Structure 1
Amino acid sequence: MEMTAERCDGILIIEVGGRLDGYAAEEVKRGIATSLRDDDRSVVIDLAGLAYLSSAGIRVFLGLQKELKVRGGGLAICNVGEYPLQVLAMAGFDRVFTLFPSRAAALAASFRREDSLSLIADLAAPPVEYEGAKFRFEPGSWTPASLRVKGSIDDLLHARIREEGVSAETFSDIRYSLGLGALGSSLLDAMPFLGEMVTLQGSMTWLPSDGHNTPDFFVPARVGGEVRAYTAFNVALDGQFNEFATVEAEEGITLEALYRAVFAHARERKVGAGVVAVALWGVTGGVLGSGIRKAPLARDAPARGGSIFDPENVGDWIEASEEPKYAGDSIVAFGIGLDPSADLSSCDAGAIASLSGHPRGEGDNGLILHTHGVVFRKVPWDLQTPLEKGIDRCLAEGEFVDMRHLLDGTRILRAHLGIAYISSITRG
């Protein structure tokens, strides 16, 4: 059995040749699972080189068709040879599957299906193009939104965190936030494990600084309880999202370009100041991330002094990916974007300094970004599912993969966004 996978204008094409028997069916099943992105809705199976087909192979195709139907898409099978067609007919599946005489015909049907789904979305909210991606904006709540900053980014960066600088947060108070934190039975229990953290709709995902480089998470089933999140630095959103948006970019859009687009839209609409908070559920085209290896506590400050990001210290303190990972997987994230060229006089100067102090936050165009994200797998993308339901689905149903501080080169293929235009920033 031979199997190849490729894409034509976003449509996944699986070509299977040789003998598709019981043994090969398991290989094809694994190959499809590896190739299928969370945003794939239409797939073409090309059987031009297939000489033998059994019920085991048919079941693989049937399982894929059922999964695509749930996603609002479909399966197109083409170039079926004489013997495989006889098998499909005798098993009664020539009427279950949609068969096409050529790859071109199967692709044309798949493109029509995708275009119809996009047309429905375009009629609901006309798209605008920014940074080569298609954005559709919808109004949210116009109640002013603000950010609340706790702790010191400077203490974090220079490993000066002490017990008195760590606060205990209830989960009901940190619906959307990011920073440095940990879970534990007490402050003393949590402090050695302080690492990158993000809270999304009251759930917490964090990267314990225990040397294992393995994230952990906690999803409360109800409000209240005794479990606390201990945070040494935390930026939390107070208020609702002022706008929602969907983003589609076949080649992917970087986080930096996505924030540029949000700021450009805000300027055109004459809304917001120079700070935005963005929550995201989408599909990644490749994650570039970093994390803190060990808690930046005062007792473990770099012997040579300076920041944990200084060249002589960074290898001991920071873990960063050099190549993109997790392309095609689902991602949920929360981030802050700051435009230093805007009028920020209404915001607390100390809070602005905390937002702009992270050395991994400044992009090439001067924007300052700080975003934490969580990667999940096997959460099918749905244009019609709103942001917060999508986040809930990831938390409840997704296969948990990773959590990182997202670098600006992280790419997004499709996403739902919640955008808050920040009117004030406070400390404490």
Structure 2
Amino acid sequence: MDAKSERKEGVLVFFINGRLDAFGAQQLDEWIKGTLHDDDKELVLDLSGSTYLSSGGLRTFNVLKKEMKRRNGRFALAGVGEYPKKVLDMAGFTTILEIFPTTDAAVEDIKKKRKNPTLFNEIFYKKIEEEGVTLTIEPGWMTSPPALRVTGDLHKILHAQLTEADIKTRKFSEITYSLGLGALGADKKEAMPLLGEMITLYGSMVWLPTDGNNTPDFLTPLDAETDVPVYTGFNVTLDGPFNEYLSLDTKDPEGISITDIYRMIFAGAVDRGVKTYKGIVAIAIWGVIAGVASSGIKKAPVAGTALPKGASIMDPAQSATWMASDTSMSYKGDTLVSFGIGIDLAHDLSGYKKENLDALYYANPANKGASKAMYLHNHGVVFRGVPYDSSLDLNSQVKKIVSDATFVDMRHLLDSTRIRRAKIGVAYIQDIVKEQ
């Protein structure tokens, strides 16, 4: 048996040729698993090329129907031939499956009956639209002005001068959304040589140890008040809530870059006259990946690593030794949960102390052709098999995903990383606080 797939009007369609016996059903199951993206909600199987169906195929249909129901979507068959129809009738499946004469008829019916999310209070919602991209804006609930809390010394990291005295400890409960350089271990001495890119998301800490194995590690304590510490040489934490939540949708299957997401957020804040916008935002993203481009530090930047005096690990002559990058645009169709900060360099930043701005800023040489109008720093975690639904609450979903979903990878995201659709929390940063 063989099959080909395509997406028609946003509906994933499989055209099947051959016998849907036990072996064929097993093949089909693997093909669909490899093709199904986390934001696919509708699936049609075109059986016009299949003349045989057995219990193996029926079991696969049942599994697929349940999966599409889990995604609040639809599963249908099309072009069912005479013998497969008899098998469906005999098994009672014609009463529980949607069956259409052709794929076009199935897709047309799905389009007509799609549940278009209605915004429950339209007066509070606004849209930013560009060609093929829509951002729908929903206000958050403000309890305190959002601020960034910076721990550690970025200069010492960039110049590989970290000592044990520079390593700070944090409880999991203190860092809901944060990124930086960190490690887990029995004590500071054990953690220091493993310091790597890190992100914390609702009580979970994910990091990329610099042990040469290029394999992320993570920990989600059952008790957020546990005394297992996070060791960090540099950490940027969001204190306070998100001002707004954005629903991003793109028509282009290649999605939109992180650079353009920030650019639209910056421009939208200016155009709408957002009074709390001072040129810096922190954002959390739950979305579907069009392609991840990434980088990561390869060696812990601790003192005594033989970096030439005055040199930076980001210098062109040094960066290849210290940094690894991957621009292959991987993980298409998987789920991304990320946290990051963006600085609009074209905006008036005089509302922040210069030394506090300097505590956030560095240029990553792996960002080839990065915009000189902004500085972006984002870390992300890749998960698989998470149905995407923009009507769900961002924070609740992030908390659920990091606890329950299938973990795949964690990386420092390059600005060229692309997202197809997403729910985004945006905090307009009012202050930067440096911890001693």
Could you state the TM-score of these two structures normalised by the residue count of structure 1? 0.95
1:378 has 2:385 as partner: yes
What is the CA-CA distance between 1:233 and the residue it aligns to?
0.9
What is residue 192 of structure 1 aligned with on the other side? Answer: 193
Q: Could you tell me how far apart the structure 1 residues matched to 2:121 and 2:109 are?
A: 20
What is residue 327 of structure 1 aligned with on the other side? Answer: 332
SS at match of 1:94: helix
Contact 1:73 1:113 in 2 (8 A): no
The aligned amino acid for 1:418 is: G
What is residue 277 of structure 1 aligned with on the other side? Answer: 282
Q: 1:240 to 1:119 in 2, by over 3 A?
A: closer
Q: 1:420 aligns with which of 392, 412, 427?
A: 427
Q: Could you tell me how far apart the structure 1 residues matched to 2:41 and 2:113 are?
A: 9
CA-to-aligned-CA distance 1:252-301 (integer Å, 9 cap, x gap): 11111111111122112322110000011111111111111111112114
Contact 2:43 2:75 in 1 (8 A): yes
1:263 has 2:294 as partner: no
Contact 1:195 1:209 in 2 (8 A): yes
Q: Could you tell me how far apart the structure 2 residues matched to 1:94 and 1:125 are?
A: 42
What is residue 229 of structure 2 aligned with on the other side? Answer: 228
Q: 1:40 to 1:92 in 2, by over 3 A?
A: same
SS at match of 1:320: strand
Which one is further off, 42-51 or 312-321?
312-321
Which one is further off, 267-276 or 300-309?
300-309
List gaps (5 residues or longer) in structure 2: none
Matches within 5 A, 1:144-293: 144-251=145-252, 252-271=255-274, 272-293=277-298
Q: 1:306 to 1:274 in 2, by over 3 A?
A: same
What is the alpha-carbon root mean square deviation over aligned residues? 1.9
CA-to-aligned-CA distance 1:135-155 (integer Å, 9 cap, x gap): 111111333111111222222
The aligned amino acid for 1:154 is: H
What is the CA-CA distance between 1:207 and the residue it aligns to?
0.5
The aligned amino acid for 1:367 is: M
The aligned amino acid for 2:385 is: K
The aligned amino acid for 1:322 is: T
What is the CA-CA distance between 1:81 and the residue it aligns to?
1.2
Q: 1:348 to 1:220 in 2, by over 3 A?
A: farther
Report sequence identity in percent.
Answer: 44
Contact 1:131 1:257 in 2 (8 A): no
What is residue 140 of structure 1 aligned with on the other side? Answer: 140
Which one is further off, 155-164 or 184-193?
155-164
Q: Could you tell me how far apart the structure 1 residues matched to 2:432 and 2:342 are?
A: 13
Q: Could you tell me how far apart the structure 2 residues matched to 1:356 and 1:309 are?
A: 12
Number of equivalenced pairs: 427
Contact 2:386 2:401 in 1 (8 A): yes
1:21 has 2:24 as partner: no
Contact 1:10 1:250 in 2 (8 A): no
1:68 has 2:58 as partner: no
Contact 1:376 1:402 in 2 (8 A): yes
Q: Could you tell me how far apart the structure 1 residues matched to 2:121 and 2:129 are?
A: 12
Could you state the TM-score of these two structures normalised by the residue count of structure 2? 0.93
